[in-house]
Amino acid sequence: EKSGYDHFMLKEIAEQPRAVADTLLGRIGADGLLTLDEMRLSGEELREINKIIVVACGTSYHAGLIAKYAIEHWAGIPCEVELASEFRYRDPILTRDTLIIVISQSGETMDTLMAVRHAREQHSRVLAICNVNGSTIPREADAVLYTHAGPEIAVASTKAFLTQLVACYLVALYLAQVRGTKFGDEISQIVARLWEMPSRVEEVLSTMEPVRELARSLAGERCVLFLGRHVGFPVALEGALKLKELAYMHAEGFAAGELKHGPIALIESGLPVVVVVPSPSGQRVTHEKIVSNIQEIRARGAKTIVIAEEGDTSVEPYADTLIRVPAVPTLLQPLVATVPLQVFACELATAKGHDVDQPRNLAKSVTVE
Ligand code: M6R
């Protein structure tokens, strides 16, 4: 079943272009507009929403963090993101006009399921983004949008994450379409860029040998830091989570702007720091700021591993290792920038002799609170 791959994780990483395409398929009309009637939320219900809370755990939570940028930017709806295990132990202000979006690959995560029940008791509408047909969470939710990643066997989530991002983009754009916060031609332009993403992910996959080499060279390290800004911040969190899960290394993701508020004290000679650089055209200001962060940490001896858009020459003098990803619209960058981090963690863990499909202490779906 591993189709010639040594591990399910490698197979699932390789399946990502297909998974992204499958999640788009059948959801876009010939006019480039979205047809998400399957969600079973009426136009009227969608127009009434005045707040969105995205609730999830682990990697799915990182997808939620990215969804917030898309929902606020495209649909103009205030959006919060919360860990499912925290959500119901405070007193979230929920009304009928609050839409709760829960994201769960398995559809069986107990923390997330309890959040669904809590939200429904308060009469909020719940939309589930889920990969497993007929699992508990979509059955209990008011509406569901399935990701079409296919079965994900490896404990570490990879292709499910990319398809969760696609589903979140679709929901954000659909809300923009139904509520009229974007014109039809703007939506179809973004949709056209989404359609290019399977090829962009394929391009990234075809250039991963230097990343694998780098990972092997870092197998003796004790700690790796990850920095990002804007949608690159959740990507940094995801890169760190993958490394914790698979390589059992101390790994931490930070918002690069927070460096000077504390984490910079961690920087010491030889420490590997992965930096996810925003697009210089799409994110001019944050790009400039992160380039100075790279200079600062390098001046303190960090080994800089820089993930930057093709053609971004400004980072070249400060990158000990430069990983190129294709230029794509800012909000879509996580679809390409996450892939090298998955490959990095998988290869590093393999170099350390770990079982990447079944990391210690972890289960594929966490059915206890
Ligand atoms: O099935 P879910 O998406 O609800 O699972 C949530 C987390 O348990 C999951 O993403 C976990 O963090 C993964 N092992 C990450 O690779």
- Residue corresponding to tokens 């303190």: 300
Q: How many CB atoms lie within 10 A of CB 258?
A: 13
Q: Which residues form the catalytic set?
A: 364
Question: Any alpha helices (H) in 122-257, and if so which ranges?
Answer: 136-140, 159-179, 184-195, 197-205, 209-217, 232-247
The set of long-range contacts for 148-153, using a CB threshold of 8 Å and a minimum separation of 24, is 148/19, 148/22, 148/23, 148/25, 149/15, 149/19, 149/22, 149/23, 149/105, 150/15, 150/19, 150/22, 152/12, 152/105, 152/364, 153/1, 153/8, 153/12, 153/357, 153/364
- At 257, the amino acid letter reads G
Ligand 1 nearest atom to the CA of residue 366, by list position: 8
CA dist 69 to 20, 72, 80, 231, Å? Answer: 19, 5, 10, 7
* Ligand 1 midpoint to CA 239 (Å): 14
Q: How far is the CA of 237 from the centre of ligand 1 (A)?
A: 13
112 C-beta closer than 6 A to ligand 1: yes
What's the one-letter identity of residue 163? T
pLDDT in the model for residue 309: 97
The pTM for the full model equals 0.97
DSSP H/E element including 297 = helix 284-299
**Does the beta carbon of 106 lie inside 6 Å of ligand 1?**
yes
- Binding site membership of 190 for ligand 1 (Cβ less than 6 Å): no
Give the model's pLDDT for residue 367: 86
pLDDT score at 368: 86
Segments in the chain below pLDDT 70: none
Collapsing DSSP to helix, strand or coil, 72 comes out as: helix
Torsion of CA 338, 187, 103, 107, to 10 degrees: -110
Ligand 1 lined by 55 (C-beta under 6 Å)? no
CB neighbour list of residue 39: distance below 8 Å, 6 or more residues apart = 127, 143, 144, 145, 171, 174
d(CA 266, CA 254): 12
Pocket test for ligand 1, best of 54, 55, 57 (most atoms within 8 A of CB): 57
Residue 290, sorted as left (phi over 0), alpha (psi -120 to 50) or beta, turns out to be alpha
If you measure from the C-alpha of residue 314 to the centroid of ligand 1, how many angstroms do you get, rounded to a whole number?
36
